[in-house]
Amino acid sequence: MTEPAIEVRKLWKRFGQVDAVAGVDLDVPPGAFLVLLGPSGCGKTTVLRLLAGLEEPTTGEIRIGGRTVASGAQGTMVPPAGRGAGLVFQSYALWPHMTVWGNIEWPLKVARWSPADRSARVREVLSLLSIEDLEGRYPSEISGGQQQRVAIARTLAPRPRVLLFDEPLSNLDAKLRVEMRAELLRIHRATGATSVYVTHDQIEALALATHVAVMREGRIEQVAPPADILATPATPFVATFVGTPPGNVVPAVVHEGRFWWHDVDLAPAGGVSEGERRWLLYRPEQISVCAEPGPRRVQVTLAEALPLVGRTVLTCWHGSSRITAVVDRVVRLDPGATLYLGLPDAPATSYADNGSQAGGA
């Protein structure tokens, strides 16, 4: 097996009373495009800043390219410039008094490249980002999308082995975001650099990633290729966080050999003991919409019916539980309507109740 490009062991970062990162372990294979996905405040930016060397770990270790760059135990802390990692932020922070050329050349000057090497490399990344014609302009003379290209070019210039992105596309409009996504994939393939990319936009995550790490409250709940995260979510949180729309996880209790959710008899509880609790996963596309009550039908109130290319996403409430269903037709229903959602014979999967609440149910 090839050595991981990035290895993170028991990484912990505490700010005062807040555990921003609370025991992260991660191996990123060379050339991977790892997306860190998770809700606001779960520690994504802090992980990136720890990798970049902008924060010092409270405890734990980071190795980049086999070399320890941060270690709580050994007191090692390699400064950002010595890590071979380039960071692209959401705000591009270009030097306003320098041209596009000057901005891209700057990190190479700092790294003491020769004038001839600098010039050749700036030309190369200008061409990689298709911004050759902007080289003489100042940041105030180019658009936001172009500024983001310049910021990426500037980060690529010194040939970092590792590229770190913190929501780099979130300031761009929807159309430009889609274009830049494709560009980033092309650049990732062209440079072969290992990338760690932070977003809370799932579509972006699923479109770009070779691997997705789903974070929650400073921890990683699952790392897997995007298709596997969708097909086999490892925890109730992942199941209810990932997917458009995400899965429904229902808290069920076993009574007389069957799973019950309130007064709804859901399914046989094969082997699970009386009184035990489980989280049952029902995918939105497994749920049907009915007008009448019946077995395995849950009475709900419609919150929203969202038409989506020939389908409708129905968001409903059963008490304080939200349930989402996708039906293959256009449904015209008003919010507030009473419906019955028909659950399938068996859930997609079930999770042991280890006390951690799922996101949705």
Ligand X SMILES: Nc1ncnc2c1ncn2[C@@H]1O[C@H](COP(=O)(O)OP(=O)(O)OP(=O)(O)O)[C@@H](O)[C@H]1O
Q: In terms of DSSP H, where are the helices of the chain?
A: 44-52, 100-110, 115-128, 144-156, 174-191, 202-208, 226-231, 236-241
What is the Cα–Cα distance from 265 to 298, expressed in whole angstroms? 10
Least distance in Å: CB of 231 to Mg ion?
28
Amino acid at 144: G
Looking at residue 159, the DSSP 8-state letter turns out to be -
41 lies in the binding site for ligand X (CB under 6 A): yes
Which among 40-48, 100-108, 109-117, 174-182 is the span making contact with ligand X, rule CB under 6 A?
A: 40-48
Burial of 1 (C-beta count, 10 Å sphere; 0-12/13-18/19+): exposed
- Please report, for residues 230, 249, 308, 326, the alpha-carbon distance to residue 244 in angstroms, rounded to integers and kept in the order given: 10, 15, 11, 10
Using CB under 6 A as the binding rule, the residues of this chain from 196 to 235 that contact ligand X are: 200
- Please report, for residues 157, 179, 286, 305, the alpha-carbon distance to residue 283 in angstroms, rounded to integers and kept in the order given: 45, 31, 5, 17
CB 222 within 8 A of CB 234: yes
| Cβ neighbours around 310 below 10 Å, total | 8
Least distance in Å: CB of 213 to ligand X?
12
Residue whose structure tokens are 């069920």 = 252
Least distance in Å: CB of 281 to ligand X?
25
Q: Using the minimum distance from each CB to ligand X, give the nearer residue, 44 or 118.
A: 44
Which among 2-10, 42-50, 247-255, 274-282 is the span making contact with Mg ion, rule CB under 5 A?
A: 42-50
Using CB under 6 A as the binding rule, the residues of this chain from 129 to 148 that contact ligand X are: none
What is the Cα–Cα distance from 8 to 212, expressed in whole angstroms? 15
45 lies in the binding site for ligand X (CB under 6 A): yes
Least distance in Å: CB of 18 to ligand X?
5
Which among 2-10, 35-43, 62-70, 310-318 is the span making contact with ligand X, rule CB under 6 A?
A: 35-43
Which among 16-24, 131-139, 256-264, 320-328 is the span making contact with ligand X, rule CB under 6 A?
A: 16-24
How many CA atoms does the CB half-sphere of 4 hold within 13 Å? 16
Least distance in Å: CB of 52 to ligand X?
13
199 lies in the binding site for Mg ion (CB under 5 A): no
Q: What are phi and psi of 201, to 5 degrees?
A: -90, 110
Which of 11, 46, 153, 272 touches ligand X (CB under 6 A)?
46
What is the Cα–Cα distance from 45 to 197, expressed in whole angstroms? 10
| Cβ neighbours around 186 below 10 Å, total | 13
Least distance in Å: CB of 41 to ligand X?
4
Using CB under 6 A as the binding rule, the residues of this chain from 259 to 288 that contact ligand X are: none
Q: Using the minimum distance from each CB to Mg ion, give the nearer residue, 208 or 250.
A: 208
Which of 45, 147, 155, 235 touches Mg ion (CB under 5 A)?
45
| Cβ neighbours around 42 below 10 Å, total | 23
Least distance in Å: CB of 41 to Mg ion?
8
Which of the listed partners (ligand X, Mg ion, none) does 20 bind, with a CB threshold of 5 to 8 Å by partner kind? ligand X
What is the Cα–Cα distance from 90 to 33, expressed in whole angstroms? 18
Least distance in Å: CB of 194 to ligand X?
20
Which of the listed partners (Mg ion, ligand X, none) does 42 bind, with a CB threshold of 5 to 8 Å by partner kind? ligand X
CB 278 within 8 A of CB 319: no
Least distance in Å: CB of 199 to ligand X?
9
CB 37 within 8 A of CB 213: yes
190 lies in the binding site for ligand X (CB under 6 A): no
Which among 13-21, 71-79, 261-269, 294-302 is the span making contact with ligand X, rule CB under 6 A?
A: 13-21
Which of 4, 43, 53, 233 touches ligand X (CB under 6 A)?
43
Task: Tell me which residues touch Mg ion (CB under 5 A).
Answer: 45
Task: Tell me which residues touch ligand X (CB under 6 A).
Answer: 15-16, 18, 20, 38, 40-46, 200
